[in-house]
């Protein structure tokens, strides 16, 4: 997956998107897309929820406060919730979180809701790619109180993991 | 609570009858908004409609909420993210129920203290009326012959 560069020099691979997925629809769609070996952006982390109605504003805001650059909620099509109206609750909660974010000066696009059915893996992949595109176009989410000591994420992990792999590669070449 | 027509008729027959509450009933209601959890019990229990659930939410209530409470956790997360002080109250979508500010109208309040008794978060205090304070008089007394 090519990482798109942003003005700050950071790449989209440095970002993290947390996707809260409904077990009945979106997670099933994610499962099906994985079975079809469709590549997803490396930024996304899936969280299984029994229903998007379980997602509370606290889940969304804590994810953002703890290191995510964007959160998405993926649920059933409106009117097709397996628990009748869980996704309607989620729609309103996401709208509420967007207004909260906006009122304190954070881009409301960092929190979004998508709907799909279990039989639409391409729609799930498109939603994740759309979210990844939006988030990689935004600067990293600034947080107070973590300054430089921001928890290392996979960007740093990949750098430290690269050295042993190089060593291994060169030793393999030497042996050959 | 507003009088029924029958009540108003009886009151008009009582010599010197008025709706002034007795001394010791009209409590002074003090609301601690930072402790409020937004359950709306006060609005449900209020006999005079002085407390109501609003359509907006004051974001500062999250930031002021005590540590460890649900609103406090949300406020802590928001404090890490915020770029500037909240712009003001946000409008709340229909299905978000607990993140709402309770509107309290002092003019309608009878001072009965029902809200304070029912409050699960101890966010409302009913203080005994001050001795020199005028007894609270509900708005419905206007127009009733004394």
Instruction: Report the pLDDT value the prediction gives residue B27, as an integer from 0 to 100.
Output: 87
Task: Answer yes or no: is B140 within a domain.
Answer: no
Task: Answer yes or no: is B45 within a domain.
Answer: yes
Range of the domain at B114: 24-135
Instruction: Report the pLDDT value the prediction gives residue A156, as an integer from 0 to 100.
Output: 39
- Give the closest-approach CA distance of A52 to chain B in angstroms: 14
Task: Answer yes or no: is B109 within a domain.
Answer: yes
Which whole-number Å values give the CA distances from A18 to A59, A158, A171, B84, in the listed order?
10, 19, 38, 24
B82 interaction partners in chain A (CB closer than 8 Å): 104-106, 144
- Give the closest-approach CA distance of B77 to chain A in angstroms: 5
Instruction: Report the pLDDT value the prediction gives residue A144, as an integer from 0 to 100.
Output: 87
B97, pLDDT greater than 80? yes
Spell out the domain ranges in chain A. 14-143+151-175
Mean pLDDT of A42-54: 95
| CATH number of residue B122's parent domain | 3.30.70
Mean pLDDT of A146-151: 46
CA proximity to A136, closest of A128, A144, A147: A128
B103, pLDDT greater than 60? yes
Average pLDDT for chain A: 83
Task: Answer yes or no: is B19 within a domain.
Answer: no
For the segment A61-76, what is each residue's pLDDT rounded down to a tens digit? 999 999 999 999 999 9
A57 interaction partners in chain B (CB closer than 8 Å): 74, 96, 99
Q: What pLDDT band is residue B138 in, cutting at 50, 70 and 90?
A: low
Task: Answer yes or no: is B8 within a domain.
Answer: no
Task: Answer yes or no: is B6 within a domain.
Answer: no
B2, pLDDT greater than 50? yes
* Count of all residues that appear for chain B in the document: 146
Q: Is B73 in Cβ contact with A93 (below 8 Å)?
A: no
Of A95, A100, A144, the CB nearest to B80: A144
Q: A104 touching B, CB under 8 A? A: yes
Interface pTM, i.e. ipTM: 0.74
Q: How far apart are CA B58 and CA B52, in angstroms?
A: 15
Spelled out in words, what is the top-level CATH class assigned to the domain A14-143+151-175?
Answer: alpha beta
Q: What pLDDT band is residue A158 in, cutting at 50, 70 and 90?
A: very low
Q: What is the count of structural domains for chain B?
A: 1
Which whole-number Å values give the CA distances from A165 to A3, A159, A162, A170, in the listed order?
21, 10, 5, 9
For the segment A93-140, what is each residue's pLDDT rounded down to a tens digit? 999 999 999 999 999 999 999 999 999 999 999 999 999 999 999 999
- Give the closest-approach CA distance of B35 to chain A in angstroms: 18
Task: Answer yes or no: is B141 within a domain.
Answer: no
A146 interaction partners in chain B (CB closer than 8 Å): 80
CA proximity to A65, closest of B89, B99, B82, B92: B82
Task: Answer yes or no: is B56 within a domain.
Answer: yes
The pTM of the full predicted model, rounded to 2 decimals, is 0.77
A62 interaction partners in chain B (CB closer than 8 Å): 73, 77
Average pLDDT for chain B: 85
């Amino acid at each position: 997956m090519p990482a798109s560069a942003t003005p700050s020099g950071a790449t989209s691979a440095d970002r993290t998107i947390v996707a809260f997925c409904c077990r009945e629809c979106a997670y099933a769609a994610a499962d099906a897309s994985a079975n079809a070996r469709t590549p997803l952006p490396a930024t996304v982390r899936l969280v299984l929820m029994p229903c998007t109605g379980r997602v509370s504003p606290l889940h969304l805001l804590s994810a953002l406060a703890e290191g995510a650059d964007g959160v998405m909620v993926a649920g059933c099509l409106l009117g097709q919730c397996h628990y009748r109206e869980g996704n309607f609750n989620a729609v309103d909660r996401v709208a509420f979180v967007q207004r909260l974010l906006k009122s304190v000066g954070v881009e409301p696009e960092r929190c979004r809701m998508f709907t799909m059915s279990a039989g639409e893996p391409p729609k799930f992949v498109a939603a994740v790619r759309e979210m990844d595109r939006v988030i990689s176009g935004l600067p990293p989410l600034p947080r107070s109180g973590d300054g430089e000591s921001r928890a290392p994420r996979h960007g740093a992990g990949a750098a430290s993991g690269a050295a042993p792999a190089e060593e291994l590669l060169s030793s393999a070449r030497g042996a050959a | 609570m507003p009088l029924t027509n029958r009540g108003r008729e009886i009151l008009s027959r009582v010599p010197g009858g008025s709706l002034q509450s007795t001394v010791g009933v009209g409590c002074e209601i003090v609301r601690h908004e930072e402790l409020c959890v937004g359950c709306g019990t006060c609005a449900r229990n209020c006999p005079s409609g002085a407390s109501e659930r609003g359509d907006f939410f004051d974001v500062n209530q999250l930031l002021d909420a005590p540590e460890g409470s649900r609103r406090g956790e949300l406020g802590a997360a928001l404090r890490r993210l915020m770029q500037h002080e909240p712009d003001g109250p946000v409008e709340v979508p229909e299905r978000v129920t607990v993140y709402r500010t309770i509107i309290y109208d002092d003019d309608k309040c009878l001072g009965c203290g029902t809200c304070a008794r029912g409050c699960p978060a101890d966010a409302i205090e009913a203080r005994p009326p001050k001795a020199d304070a005028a007894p609270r008089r509900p708005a419905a007394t206007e127009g009733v012959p004394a």
